[in-house]
Amino acid sequence: MKISALRVVLAATAAMGIAVGAADAAERVLKIQTSSNASHASLAYMNAEWVPKLEAMTGGTLSIELLPVDAVVPRRETPEAIGVGILDGDLTSINYFSGVDPAFALMGDLIAGYDSADQIQAYCAQGGGREMLQKLMDAHYPGVHVIGCGAYAKEAFVSKVPIHGVADFKGVKVRSPEGLAADVFKRVGAAPVSMSGSETYGALEKGVIDAADNSAYANNDANGMHKVAKYPIFPGIHSTPILQFTISQQVWDELSEQERTALDVWYLAAYNGLRQYFDRLDRQLVARDKAAGELTIIDWPQEERDKFRTIAQEAWSDFAAQSPLAKEVYESHVAFMKEAGLL
């Protein structure tokens, strides 16, 4: 959809009342489109626990309205919508913009790179990640200001067959996003299959696929994946998607210094809280399922995780060669991971 048509979408959206309530009492409410479905636990948690806190932190001058994915514009068009003032910002997956530059693929999910969402939080906040993302925005989406980036959960892995290590991937049909993730699975001998998330359960049930790169353990549980896939891998081995929180540079410039500081602090605190919430929820469900004995929950030994990461590094390097910015993102990740002892 052309950006000129986005204003029509916005008008129609407003007319239909497609808005997830922010506090009307605030003097200014920022409209932020997310990558969460309306039913996702992450969106519910943010709305319940953290949206009210921003208004409190600013004394009622600023609030935020978190909209579900595709609520105003298609998921891959949020930066353009921010640039022309249709959205104030986004809290969304960086991976959506991989088609613009492979740098976004490496920035959005360094497959098998990090052991935890906490490590990614550190990379974004103290390891140069936020600055690197701003450089990508300046190059491809001028007028978008990066407040931060981070991850809230390492995805678990859904499987109908036991996969105890790298060698067990040979011949396994895996639902996987195209791009970097699919490349890594190919390198370990799996057969990646591209399909939407809505098709995953049926494909597992019918045997079209054997396993799936899907979501966090709690989301997989809620979606019924474990009813047909009895060998989940937890903690996950592959994906820890990184999300961005951005707003229009014009909007940022209009905010007071106190409001800017509040947004910075709010985001860091909110995403730390979201990470802790999902980690606790995942582990509660894993403990429940282990006690029930109906699932075989597999935890890879560190040596197999290291082996998988070594193979993934070859894919990172190949993607890094595809553009100058991709090379910079790659070098930024590697420098931080070496400091953290991951490489």
Instruction: Tell which wins on pLDDT, 2 or 312.
Output: 312
Task: Give the pLDDT band (50/70/90) at residue 25.
Answer: low
pLDDT at 27 over 60: yes
Mean pLDDT score of the chain: 90
For domain 157-236+297-339, the question of CATH label 3.40.190.170 is answered with: yes
What φ, ψ does residue 206 adopt, rounded to 5°? -90, -5
Q: Where are the alpha helices (DSSP H) in 150-223?
A: 180-187, 200-206, 217-222
pLDDT of 8 reads 37
pLDDT at 196 over 80: no
pLDDT at 131 over 90: yes
Task: Give the pLDDT band (50/70/90) at residue 341.
Answer: confident
Instruction: Tell which wins on pLDDT, 197 or 218.
Output: 218
Q: What length does the chain have?
A: 343
CATH number of 3-153+240-281: 3.40.190.170
Pairing of strands 173-175, 191-193: parallel
Domains 3-153+240-281 and 157-236+297-339 belong to one CATH topology: yes
pLDDT of 165 reads 97
pLDDT at 15 over 70: no
The whole model's pTM is what?
0.84
**From 12-26, 78-92, 238-252, 304-318, the region with the lowest mean pLDDT:** 12-26
In the chain, domain spans: 3-153+240-281, 157-236+297-339
Q: Cis peptide leading into 235, omega within 30 of 0?
A: yes
Q: Provide CB contacts within 8 A for 170, sequence distance 6+.
A: 188, 189, 190
> H/E element holding 159?
strand 157-159
